[in-house]
Structure 1
Amino acid sequence: MRALLVVNPAATTTSARTRDVLIHALASEMKLEAVTTEYRGHARDLGRQAAESDDIDLVVALGGDGTVNEVVNGLLHSGPDPERLPGLAVVPGGSTNVFARALDLPNHPVEATGALLDALREGRERTVGLGLTSGTPGTDDESVPPRWFTFNAGLGFDAGVVGRVEQHRERGKKSTHALYMRQVVRQLIGEPHRRHGVITLEQPGEDPVRDLALSIVSNASPWTFLGNRPIYASPKASFDTGLDIFGLKRLSTSALARYGTQLLTSSPERGPRGRHVTARHDLTQFTLHSKVPLPLQMDGDHLGLRTSVTFTGVRRALRVIV
């Protein structure tokens, strides 16, 4: 087997020594080429090169969810083809690693490498569904290029939090859960649409759902992790179904206290409930429109401001080694 290892040198939870150990362990079992990313988008370019190659069987992403997202977008640049494209393996090295943990992979990079080698020896893999965003015809965002996401996306509040975290990371701060929670509070204080949402959910054959103040799209469950605590916004979301959406019509102090508590105590059997909650399961396609430009995030990566985004759930899009 010939494999490409894409290494993010800025991965939060791995040192240079740890990465060297992991590379040697993988190289002992396969013909391995290791490439260290040098710029934003480099992992995407490497994934695309692997997809266009005739002799790469596997791409291993060593890094956080952002690295995985870039690799996936490179692999699927010309569309999904699980039988032809190289498989994907993940060695988590970020602060949260939602995609890897949603696949029940170990969160420690050394343990994850051992699990990967065992999976390769035993031929364990699964074909997972992914989310795809695109510009909406007839809107200002019509020409925005499509982009894949692996576990979640959001338009509005949560994307604003992601943007704030990225600003701090660009100034040299580490991405920690404490930093994330501080930015949640600051985003809430500055949120101009707390009581009157500006987002509309439209799906074929259904009445529009208007005035959402928060919208979270999930391709897997849990939605995210707070330390080791899984948070379930859409407990039924799965790599084997379409997309789920969780929306809130109010972000007032009382509403946030109620639904924030529900999120913190959520489980695989029960997510947030209430009269301000909108929840949809297993959707193939839908669109989120906003009256004003709002931030968009996918897999924890801030992608700028958008007023309209179309989401598509694509089943059986990519082979993953598990």
Structure 2
Amino acid sequence: MRALLVVNPAATTTSARTRDVLIHALASEMKLEAVTTEYRGHARDLGKQAAESDDIDLVVALGGDGTVNEVVNGLLHRGPDPEGLPRLAVVPGGSTNVFARALGVPNDAVEATGAILDALRDKRERTVGLGLAAGTPGTDDESVPDRWFTFCAAFGFAAGVVGRVEQQRERGKKSTHALYVRQVVRQFIEEQHRGQGMITLERPGQKPVTNLVLSVVCNTAPWTYLGNRPVYGSPGASFDTALDIIGLSSLSSASVARYATQLLTSTPDRGLRGRHALALHDLTDFTLHSKAPLPFQLDGDHLGLRTSVTFTGVRRALRVIV
């Protein structure tokens, strides 16, 4: 077996020692090429090269969710082909590692490496569904390139939080859960000045849902983690179905307190609920529009402002080692 290891040296918990241990362990079981990313988008380029190669059977991503997202977009640059593309394995090296943990991969890099090797020996793999975000025809965002995501997308409030965190990281701040909480508070204060919600959800054959102030698209549960605590925004979301969406039509202080409490106490059976909450399950095609440009993010990567995004849930898109 020939494998490509993609290492993001800037990932939060990735170290030279972790990389060396991983390379040694994998190289003992397969023919391994290890490449360290050098620029934004490099992991995508490496995934694309692997997809076009005739002899790479496996791509291992060592990094956070952003690294995984880039590798996935490279592998799927011509679309899904589960049987024809290299398989993906993930070794968590970021601060949250939602995709890996949702797959059941240990959050420790060394333990995850051992689990991957065991899965390869036992020939354990899974074909997962993914989400695809595209520019909406007839809008200013029509020409925006399509982008795959593994676990989550957000349009509006939650994406604004991610954008704020990225700004802080560019200033030298470490990506911690405390940093995210502070940016949530600051984003909430800013949103109070917007007034009425600007987001509209449109689905084929259904009446539009209007005046949303927050929208999150989930491809799996948990939606995210606070330390070791899983947060279930949409408990029914799964790699085996299409996409779920959760939304809020109010960000009043009372509503935020109520729904924040629900998220912090969420379980695999109980997520957001209430008069101002929207929760829809297993959607294949839908579009989110806004009256004004709003922040947009995929898998924790802030992609700027958009007025419209079209989503597609694609079942059985990629094979992963579990």
Q: Offset of 1:226 from its aligned partner? A: 0.5
| Cross-structure match for 1:119 | 119
Matches within 5 A, 1:54-203: 54-192=54-192, 195-203=195-203
Q: Could you say what secondary structure the match of 2:271 adopts?
A: coil
Q: Deviations over 1:87-115 (max 9, x none)?
A: 00000000000000000110000000000
Task: Tell me which amino acid in the other structure corresponds to 2:170.
Answer: E
- Residue pair 2:192, 2:251 contacting (<8 A) in 1 also: no
| Rounded Cα–Cα distance in structure 1 between residues aligned with 2:150 and 2:21 | 27
Q: Residue 53 of structure 2 aligns with which residue?
A: 53
SS at match of 1:91: strand
Secondary structure, aligned partner of 1:293:
strand
* Structure 2 stretches lacking a partner, 5+ long: none
**Secondary structure, aligned partner of 2:116:** helix
> Shift in Å at residue 314 of structure 1?
0.2
Provide Cα deviations, 1:208-242, integer angstroms capped at 9, x if missing partner. Answer: 00000000000000100000000011000000001
> What whole-Å deviation, never above 9, does each CA across 1:30-82 have from its counterpart, x for those lacking one?
10000000000000000000000001000000000000000000000000001
Is residue 26 of structure 1 aligned with residue 17 of structure 2?
no
Determine if contact 1:194/1:252 at 8 Å carries over to the other structure.
no
Could you say what the CA RMSD is over the residues aligned between the two structures, in angstroms? 0.8
Q: Tell me if 1:249 matches 2:284.
A: no
Deviation of the 1:194 alpha carbon: 5.7
- 8 A contact 2:192–2:252 mirrored in 1: no
Given the superposition, is the C-alpha separation of residues 250 and 7 from structure 1 closer, same or farther in structure 2, using an over 3 Å criterion?
A: same
**Aligned 8 A contact 1:219 1:239 in 2:** yes
* Alpha carbons 2:7, 2:35 under 8 Å: kept: yes
Match of 2:295 in 1: 295
Report the 3-state secondary structure (helix = DSSP H, G, I; strand = E; otherwise coil) of the residue aligned with 1:254: helix
TM-score normalised by structure 1 residue count: 0.99
Matches within 5 A, 1:204-283: 204-283=204-283
Deviating above 2 A after TM superposition, structure 1's stretches of 4 or more consecutive aligned residues are 192-195
Q: Quote the sequence identity (%).
A: 82
Question: After the TM superposition, which of the residue ranges 192-201 and 27-36 deviates more from structure 2?
Answer: 192-201
Q: Aligned equivalents of 1:159 and 1:193: distance in 2?
A: 17
Number of matched residues?
322
What TM-score results when the alignment is normalised by the length of structure 2? 0.99
* Structure 1: tracts of 5 or more residues without a match: none
Residue by residue over 1:159-184, the C-alpha shift from the partner in whole angstroms, topping out at 9 and shown as x without a partner, is 00000100111111111101111110
CA distance in structure 2 between the aligned counterparts of 1:169 and 1:277, rounded to whole angstroms: 31
Secondary structure of 1:32's counterpart equals strand
Q: For residue 15 of structure 1, report the CA deviation from its aligned partner.
A: 1.5
Q: CA deviation at 1:14?
A: 2.3
Residues of 1 paired with 2:23 and 2:180: CA distance? 31
Contact 1:195–1:250 (CA under 8 A) maintained in structure 2: no
